[in-house]
Amino acid sequence: MKFDTPATQNPIDQLKVVGQGLDRIDGPLKTTGKAPYAYEHHDTVPDAAVGYVLGAAIAKGRIGAMDIEAARRAPGVLAVVTAQNAGKLGKGKMNTATLLGGPDIQHYHQAIALVVADTLEQARAASRLIRVQYERAAGAFDLAAAKRGADNAGKKGRDHAGGNAGKPDRVGDFERAYVAAAVKIDHTYRTPDHSHAMMEPHASTAVWEGDALTLWTSNQMIDWGRSDVAKTLGVPKEKVRLVSPYIGGGFGGKLFVRADAVLAALGARAARRPVKVALPRPLIANNTTHRPATIQRVRIGATRDGKITAIAHESWSGDLPGGKPEEAVQQTRLLYAGANRLTVQHLMELDLPEGNAMRAPGEAPGMMALEIAMDEMAEALGLDPVEFRVRNDTQVDPAAPERPFSQRRFIECLRTGAQRFGWAERSARPGARREGRWLVGMGMAAAFRNNLVTDSAARVRLDAAGQVIVETDMTDIGTGSYTIIAQTAAEMLGVPLAKVIVRLGDSDFPVSAGSGGQWGANSATAGVYAACQKLRTVVLERLGFAAEGAVFAEGSVTDADGRKALLRQAAADGELVAEDVLEFGGLDKTFQQSTFGAHFVEVGVDAYTGETRVRRMLAVCASGRILNPKTARSQVIGAMTMGIGSALMEELAIDQRAGFFVNHDLASYEVPVHADIPWQEVIFLDETDPASSPMKAKGVGELGLCGVGAAIANAIHHATGVRVRDYPVTLDKLLAGLPQPPVAGRFPPAASP
């Protein structure tokens, strides 16, 4: 099915099942521990051996020699796999790093060997017996130092503008307009490296049957992963099957095949036995992908009445050779009006682990800078931060005024949030509100994330019992894919939700969008919509009913003449099957499709210690039809919580001598917990976007993160008068600027924040 005209009335618009806040149908399996994750297919693969990954102990250089003989002779060891004995390996197109290193080493903890043994303890003990002689080389591990070196040499690194290397993206004449602006700011902001901290580690179980591989793995994008495994191992794609029915969190870290999958397959082939591999927590930080640090310069010029005339956003980030920049400037091209614009991304080559997608890549760190800058500009103008943003709204793409936004309810998000949060009670003067030892402030920021869509297919079956079975390789990373796909099929075919069985995460199923980039829900359900439309036609033909005026409801089909039959009667002589793909046309060229929102935060900052407590959070989202408000709300509050981590605590500390992330476990890499967030609220505007998909939906999970960090930083500034432009906003960055205690040497009682 081709989608190239805005969606009109269709069965989804009934909203009998779609749009309802229903419980997740996979919930009972998750809460009772019956949902098998990648490492837990014990019944299917009862005799699996265990692989343990040895990571490189240097960040840059070569392996001069490696002695594996003692490890091979250790008790229980079945095989030791290295680059020297693994055979020729290709490189998947999705990976910058080589998944099995040697002799060259690209980064610290790059996998250099896999020990396979009967038990984990035996494999881990044997890995300690491997003797490696390294030839260490000097590496680049410091983004700021790399930027200084490039600046001193008169270079900017590799420039990227909209994915095209070589020159900035320009609209109008920024430099001239900026010089002429009545009010202007020019500030630099920094975000650190961030690590994924999903509950389920990267894990895989591999089984060979002849020359065919089955890989149970924790992967968000089944078809991408299947292609990369095949290319890396040098086997035909049709000989590889990936299975990933349940994923314990991904956030972008499992978009791509990682070392666990490739090494499990190599280990199983070498040991001639099924093998399972899970990466230890330190290797999740140093072996897999992370969100790279950024240095961002934002310049804004405006008239005295608050209209932006010039805006520039430059970002520097690092990655391995052949990598890509963190696209932190993309939202600045679209979010606010302004005739004269400059955006550019600079990529510095670093010898740190691979930088890649982490929830809301690009916009998440980009908004952390842009939305503080907007707050600072509002302060310079003497304007309320909400009003300043309202004055600079635009209904068209600033770089292409002939292309309107398909839906843009940004101002409504701002106004709704301000009213709900009590923004009118906020004093314009920072540091004006104090409760005992707590300085209290309110901050806000815009939320923005582009709407992405990807062609998606599904297969739908109807059996003689009236059950509907949906099959697609879409994944569920804990976001509710099972439920919204079941809701879509139930709505389209007029059956109760209990009559729908959903099967996901298997490369034997039709190729879907996969989970990532905020595109999964909208795209995957659109594919199910297409397959159900095709099945409706098959059902009507089998029953001899005309398509015009036919109604599918309550397990029955009624035609325009009033004839009625049970849906299951159509499959009485055999199961009916329909498969289709929803192919997206060029509507994204006709309309700029984006999602919008507003984040509001209240914080308390201890006037004596600088400790920050988040008191209240509100997100208002305009992101198309919300397919399931309950699961969508969970996504947004999870994203808001992640934003607290980015703002206040998350930072990978780099050992500049050895080139690795030091705080590489859940004990030392701090993330927010339930006790950190006492009150969160989410408001979804009632919106449909006919230009987005037949579902009239968009993504929402990543929108819930974009802008949160800046809203918290802005609230801290409002509470204390201290402006921190270097994330995370930790107490050491606040202490020197905090107002003096009212009575020297006396501490009031520590009241609740």
Tokens 């930790």 sit on residue: 730
Q: Give me the pLDDT at residue 532, please.
A: 98
d(CA 376, CA 286) in angstroms, rounded, equals: 36
Q: Is residue 345 part of a domain?
A: no
How many domains, in total, are found in the chain? Answer: 2
Looking at the predicted structure, is the pLDDT value of residue 720 above 90? yes
Tokens 């302060």 sit on residue: 379
Helix (H, G, I), strand (E, B) or coil at 620: strand
pLDDT band at 746 (very low <50, low <70, confident <90, very high): low
**Do 471 and 597 have their domain in common?**
no
Helix (H, G, I), strand (E, B) or coil at 598: strand
What is the tens place of the pLDDT at every residue in 37-81? 999 999 999 999 999 999 999 999 999 999 999 999 999 999 999
8-state DSSP, 739: P
Counting runs of H as helices and runs of E as strands, what totals does the chain give?
Answer: 16, 34
pLDDT band at 157 (very low <50, low <70, confident <90, very high): low
3-state secondary structure 42-64: CCCCCCCEEEEEEECCCCCEEEE
**Do 714 and 606 have their domain in common?**
yes
Last residue of a domain, one of 543, 560, 588: 588
d(CA 464, CA 466) in angstroms, rounded, equals: 5
Query: How many C-alpha atoms does 263 have within 13 Å on its Cβ side?
Result: 33
Q: Is residue 522 part of a domain?
A: yes
What distance, in Å, lies between the first and last C-alpha atoms of the chain?
Answer: 55
**Do 598 and 687 have their domain in common?**
yes
Instruction: Give Cα 551 to chain centroid, integer Å.
Output: 39
DSSP E strands in 519-627: the ranges are 551-553, 556-558, 564-566, 576-584, 594-606, 612-622
- Residue 480 exposed, middle or buried by CB count within 10 Å (0-12, 13-18, 19+): buried
Q: Give me the pLDDT at residue 94, please.
A: 76
Please name the helix (run of DSSP H) or strand (run of DSSP E) that holds residue 182, with its range, or none.
none
Token pair belonging to 553: 């409801």
d(CA 344, CA 166) in angstroms, rounded, equals: 10
C-beta neighbour count of 176 within 10 angstroms:
11
Query: How many C-alpha atoms does 138 have within 13 Å on its Cβ side?
Result: 1
d(CA 264, CA 206) in angstroms, rounded, equals: 5
Task: Classify the phi-psi angles of 469: left when phi > 0, otherwise alpha if psi is within -120 to 50, otherwise beta.
Answer: beta
Which amino acid is residue 70, in one-letter code? A
- The domain that holds 636 is classified in CATH as 3.30.365.10
Residue from 443, 424, 373, 449 nearest 711 by CA = 443
d(CA 117, CA 119) in angstroms, rounded, equals: 5
Mean pLDDT of 95-102: 92
Q: Give me the pLDDT at residue 752, please.
A: 58
Provide CB contacts within 8 A for 646, sequence distance 6+: 191, 194, 364, 365, 368, 705, 708, 709, 727, 728
Looking at the predicted structure, is the pLDDT value of residue 105 above 60? yes
Domain that holds residue 441: 363-451+593-737
Q: Is residue 272 part of a domain?
A: no
Q: Is residue 328 part of a domain?
A: no
* CA triple 518-520-523, angle to 5 deg: 115
> Mean pLDDT over all residues of the chain?
95
Residue from 330, 461, 349 nearest 399 by CA = 330
Q: Give me the pLDDT at residue 636, please.
A: 98
Mean pLDDT of 155-180: 73
DSSP E strands in 86-157: the ranges are 104-105, 111-117, 131-136
Token pair belonging to 291: 């969100």
Mean pLDDT of 348-376: 97
What is the tens place of the pLDDT at every residue in 421-453? 999 999 999 999 999 999 999 999 999 999 999
d(CA 388, CA 336) in angstroms, rounded, equals: 10
**Do 522 and 634 have their domain in common?**
no
pLDDT band at 158 (very low <50, low <70, confident <90, very high): low
d(CA 309, CA 352) in angstroms, rounded, equals: 39
Token pair belonging to 502: 């959903």
Provide CB contacts within 8 A for 334, sequence distance 6+: 397, 398, 448, 450, 592, 594
d(CA 393, CA 398) in angstroms, rounded, equals: 10
Q: Give me the pLDDT at residue 166, please.
A: 41
**Do 483 and 606 have their domain in common?**
no
Looking at the predicted structure, is the pLDDT value of residue 270 above 50? yes
Residue 702 catalytic? yes
Backbone angles phi, psi at 172, to 5 degrees: 70, -150
- The one catalytic residue in 376, 379, 471, 702 is 702
Burial readout 35-46 (b: 16 or more C-beta within 10 A, e: otherwise): bbbbbbbeeebe
**Do 620 and 712 have their domain in common?**
yes
Looking at the predicted structure, is the pLDDT value of residue 400 above 60? yes
Token pair belonging to 242: 């990936």
Q: Is residue 148 part of a domain?
A: no
C-beta neighbour count of 723 within 10 angstroms:
17
**Range of weakest confidence among 204-218, 419-433, 556-570, 730-744:** 730-744
**Cα Rg, the chain, nearest whole Å:** 27
pLDDT band at 160 (very low <50, low <70, confident <90, very high): very low
Backbone angles phi, psi at 455, to 5 degrees: -50, 140
Q: Is the dihedral of CA 516, 332, 421, 672 positive or negative?
A: positive
Beta bridge pairs of residue 443: 601
**Do 677 and 625 have their domain in common?**
yes
**Range of weakest confidence among 77-86, 160-169, 272-281, 370-379:** 160-169
d(CA 669, CA 686) in angstroms, rounded, equals: 38
Mean pLDDT of 334-342: 98
Last residue of a domain, one of 588, 613, 647: 588
Give yes or no for a contact between 339 and 311, defined as CB atoms under 8 angstroms apart: no
Mean pLDDT of 178-205: 97
Q: What is the percent of the chain with per-residue pLDDT over 70, rounded to a whole number?
A: 97
**Do 541 and 581 have their domain in common?**
yes
**Do 445 and 467 have their domain in common?**
no
Sequential DSSP letters for 284-308: HHHTS-BBPPEEEEEEEEE-TTS-E
d(CA 197, CA 528) in angstroms, rounded, equals: 31
Q: Is residue 372 part of a domain?
A: yes
Q: Is residue 632 part of a domain?
A: yes
Give yes or no for a contact between 292 and 364, defined as CB atoms under 8 angstroms apart: no
**Do 599 and 584 have their domain in common?**
no
Give yes or no for a contact between 623 and 687, defined as CB atoms under 8 angstroms apart: yes
Last residue of a domain, one of 561, 588, 615: 588
8-state DSSP, 166: T
**Do 434 and 497 have their domain in common?**
no
Token pair belonging to 719: 């509470």
| Omega prior to 103 cis, within 30 of 0 | yes
Residue from 207, 332, 228, 330 nearest 275 by CA = 207
**Do 505 and 627 have their domain in common?**
no
Tokens 């029955």 sit on residue: 556
d(CA 735, CA 728) in angstroms, rounded, equals: 14
Helix (H, G, I), strand (E, B) or coil at 611: coil
Q: Is residue 131 part of a domain?
A: no
Beta bridge pairs of residue 485: none
Give whole-number Cα distances, 448 to 518, 579, 634, in Å: 12, 34, 18
Q: Give me the pLDDT at residue 698, please.
A: 97
Give yes or no for a contact between 459 and 509, defined as CB atoms under 8 angstroms apart: yes
